[in-house]
Amino acid sequence: MKYFFLSEGWAVGRVWASDGLWQITAWRRQPEIQRMNICLVEQQSELLWLYRVEDAILTVEVKPKTQVQVGTSGQAIGQVVLRRLMTAEQVIERLGSAEARCELQNIQSVVQ
């Protein structure tokens, strides 16, 4: 599995595998992309959600659900392409280096 963090308010767009752009007709299914119940809080307000993707995925395009303005120029971000997806070890390292706070809504899912 591979992973990436994605800011709240952003969505996954196109997906690429080793043979190019993901083709649902060729693969006969959607790519496996799952948002986990883990997020980092950056700068007191920005939520970065952890996503898990299958190994066949090499690159993921992400884009804001609404237009995001950049600085004072007023330019909008259209999309961003993530070319370096993370390994599980890199995710654990990132979580370990962050100031993390754990909030559990279902304690039973952890203790069983």
- Tens digit of each residue's pLDDT (9 = 90 or more) over 58-104: 999 999 988 765 655 656 667 899 999 999 999 999 888 876 666 66
pTM for this predicted structure? 0.81
Please state, in angstroms and rounded to a whole number, the distance separating the CA atoms of residues 89 and 24.
Answer: 30
3-state helix, strand, coil in the chain (%, to 5): 15, 45, 40
Please state, in angstroms and rounded to a whole number, the distance separating the CA atoms of residues 110 and 24.
Answer: 35
pLDDT tens readout for residues 14-30: 999 999 999 999 999 99
Model confidence at 11, pLDDT cuts 50, 70, 90, reads very high
